[in-house]
A and B are shown apart, each in its own frame.
Chain A
Amino acid sequence: EAGVTQFPSHSVIEKGQTVTLRCDPISGHDNLYWYRRVMGKEIKFLLHFVKESKQDESGMPNNRFLAERTGGTYSTLKVQPAELEDSGVYFCASSQDSRTTQYFGPGTRLLVL
């Protein structure tokens, strides 16, 4: 069974540009989460989808970040316009229901220059 996949694995963009990250959860997992790890710091929660609905988006840093999950399958996280402090590793995770184990993807390393 395929695990959580994320695309791209790496992205280098300039300040002010737009980047879109994609996450494909494990098939059948209704719950999808986005996290971010800024260099050397803890992994922080961004938001949680249940199917296509945003269950909790309390961790989203500001309105430059937009997450979608149309159709309740894959999700995208768009950063527009990107700022230097957005650099980090963006992780996606999925779980069958909200109480079960979350399985993580490999992450997308974003570098904003």
Chain B
Amino acid sequence: AQTVTQSQPEMSVQEAETVTLSCTYDTSESDYYLFWYKQPPSRQMILVIRQEAYKQQNATENRFSVNFQKAAKSFSLKISDSQLGDAAMYFCAYRGFNNDMRFGAGTRLTVKP
């Protein structure tokens, strides 16, 4: 079974600085998708970024980028120029052949002004 591990329960970053959230996963599949979702306090979960495993190029969405290392089964999220609105719980997720999502336990990110 696929598992997703987020080893950092909490992280904090100074406003305008850069932070990297870690995620590793375990799978025997070769074709899959990886996601980072963000859940601000008392608000719904939204998609931050997604990566197709067959693409070697790392996905980027404005200040958010990933470092996808397929061989190492690692999928970290880098947030550049952190803003107060980035404070949230971040979930790493895997979706494989059977299409249901596997999530990590989440990393709570605090942004200090």
Contact = CB atoms under 8 A, between A and B. Distances in A.
Which secondary structure characterizes the binding site on chain B? Answer: strand
- Chain A interface, DSSP helix/strand/loop, else mixed: loop
A43 B37 CA distance: 12
Interface residues of B, number: 20
A42 B25 CA distance: 13
A58 B58 CA distance: 32
A48 B104 contact: no
Given A56-B98, A104-B37, A43 B46 contact: no
Contacts of B102: 42, 45
Interface string A10-54: 000000000000000000000001010000111111001000000
Contacts of B56: none
Interface string B37-49: 1000001111100
- Report the contact-size class of chain A (Cβ under 8 Å from the partner): 20 to 34
Nearest to B42: A106
14 contacts: A33-B100, A40-B105, A42-B103, A43-B101, A43-B103, A43-B106, A45-B100, A48-B100, A56-B100, A99-B99, A102-B101, A104-B37, A105-B44, A107-B45
Interface of B: 4, 35, 37, 43-47, 50, 91, 93, 98-106
